[in-house]
Amino acid sequence: MEKVGIVGFNQVKLYSDANYGRYEMIFEAVRGAIDKAGLKKKDITTVISCTNDYYDGRTISNCWTVEVGGGYLADESKCEMDGAHAVLYGLMRILSGNHKLAVIWGGSMPSCYPYHSARLYETDPTWERPLGYVNDITAGGFQMRAYMEKFGVSKEEIARIAVKNRKNAAKNPLALAESQNANITVQDVLNSDVYSDPVTELMVAQPCDGVAALLLAPERQALKITDNPVWITGVGYSQDTYYLGERDLSVSKSMEIASKTALNAAGIKNPKNEIDVAELFEAYAHEELIFTEALGLAEKGKAASFNSEINGELAINPSGGAIGGNPPCATGLIRIIEAAKQLRGEANGYQVKGAKKAIASGQIGMCAQNNILFVLEGNV
């Protein structure tokens, strides 16, 4: 694969109820990324927007984000999945050979709409939706219980992931304030309100307001823009079946396939030894464990004993991950940005020492039906 580099990025501070409009937020993210990279509007040759019509409350919602997203009279189109999928779309635009700079932005503002109702629109309208028993809340409970039952993992072991990510989020100034819990304990997580048993509120990646933007350029252009590009060396993705009752929720087959494809492309044989940092989109604490296993970093059912602290065997979600703030359509994009920050040595306060190679993932659907994984390398 021809080398494509991340040449800039920007993320707004995450809020549970932001005091500014979503269009201001998009402009802050995109214009901020362009300014930081020392570029101008005229340098943008393609824009990939990532939003969701239901979350925006209008159809073809990118028709109104043209100006703020840098798309005015530019080549612009939209990806209606996770921001990480939008990065794949941007990558393909660059690899077409027709573009010198791609802006990829994603985000949403769930303080303006009933998030869980919007997600109910994911379900089968002719069978599940009229009853409402299958929804994104119950799906989280089913997935955690399936994982615990299959492998005998305890609630405490899963709560430890929420503690780690919330403590990490406390070091990340852009994380959601409600998730920046420097002194949280496993007991606090277990004693928080039941979300969907066995999942408790503090195990959930809370949907919040936020937008992020990323810039991609082909190798030659990338090296002109910055001395410190981050290269995309592999990408893989996979879609599992829709019906929850047909899937083994204790594992993530789609992440297994996505990671095999991505690691293969990047020539990585032993991710545990070769990867220095991982930023994974975990919608719940237990998903981080399921993904750790799907990535081959731990045996099935054993991820809880894998040391994923910032100074551990392999740091997972040093930024706090999605539990540190989960702005729909931006969360996976933020994972890629956080991984790039690590490789550029810019993760002040939560930097993994000497990080050279990273992985970052995005997901969409109930119980992470679809997963996408990127392998990134610093410019050495």
Partner 1 sequence: MTEKEKVIVSNKGLVRAEFNFWVGRYMDKFYDGLEQKKLIGNKCSKCGAVFCPPRSVCGKCNENLPLDQNWVDLPETGTLQNYTITHYKVADRRTRTVKDPQLIAMVQIDGTNTAIVNRLLNMTPEEIKIGIKVRVDWSEKTTGAPSDINGFIKV
Query: What is the contact surface with partner 1 in residues (CB under 8 A)?
Result: 17, 19, 57, 114-117, 120, 125-128, 130-135, 137-138, 140-142, 145-146, 149, 194-199, 241, 243-246, 249
Q: Which residue lies nearer to partner 1 by CB, 42 or 133?
A: 133
Tell me how far, at minimum, the Cβ of 136 lies from partner 1, in Å.
Answer: 8
Q: To the nearest 10°, report the CA torsion of 7, 205, 55, 26.
A: -30
User: Is omega for the bond preceding 218 within 30 degrees of 0, making it cis?
Assistant: no
Tell me how far, at minimum, the Cβ of 77 lies from partner 1, in Å.
Answer: 24
Tokens 């799907």 belong to 294
Give the C-alpha separation, 16 to 255, whole Å. Answer: 29
Tell me how far, at minimum, the Cβ of 135 lies from partner 1, in Å.
Answer: 5
Tell me how far, at minimum, the Cβ of 27 lies from partner 1, in Å.
Answer: 18
Q: Which residue lies nearer to partner 1 by CB, 1 or 194?
A: 194
Tokens 């932001």 belong to 18
Q: Are strands 230-239 and 4-11 parallel, antiparallel or unpaired?
A: antiparallel
Q: Which residue lies nearer to partner 1 by CB, 3 or 129?
A: 129
Q: Which residue lies nearer to partner 1 by CB, 5 or 207?
A: 207
Is residue 93 within 8 A of residue 48, CB to CB? The reply is yes
Burial (CB count within 10 angstroms: exposed 0-12, middle 13-18, buried 19+), residue 31: middle
Q: Which residue lies nearer to partner 1 by CB, 124 or 313?
A: 124
Q: Which residue lies nearer to partner 1 by CB, 3 or 253?
A: 253
Give the C-alpha separation, 329 to 333, whole Å. Answer: 8
Q: Which residue lies nearer to partner 1 by CB, 149 or 299?
A: 149
Tell me how far, at minimum, the Cβ of 251 lies from partner 1, in Å.
Answer: 14
Tell me how far, at minimum, the Cβ of 18 lies from partner 1, in Å.
Answer: 11
Give the C-alpha separation, 161 to 127, whole Å. Answer: 35
Residue 2's SS3 state is coil
**C-alpha to C-alpha distances, 368 to 152, 249, 255, nearest whole angstrom:** 21, 9, 9
Tell me how far, at minimum, the Cβ of 149 lies from partner 1, in Å.
Answer: 6
Q: Which residue lies nearer to partner 1 by CB, 110 or 271?
A: 110
Is residue 318 within 8 A of residue 348, CB to CB? The reply is no
Tell me how far, at minimum, the Cβ of 134 lies from partner 1, in Å.
Answer: 5
Tokens 């109930």 belong to 366
Strand order in the sheet with 357-364: 75-79, 46-50, 102-108, 210-218, 4-11, 230-239, 370-378, 357-364, 277-279, 315-316
Give the C-alpha separation, 370 to 241, whole Å. Answer: 9
**DSSP-assigned beta bridge partners for residue 376:** 232, 358
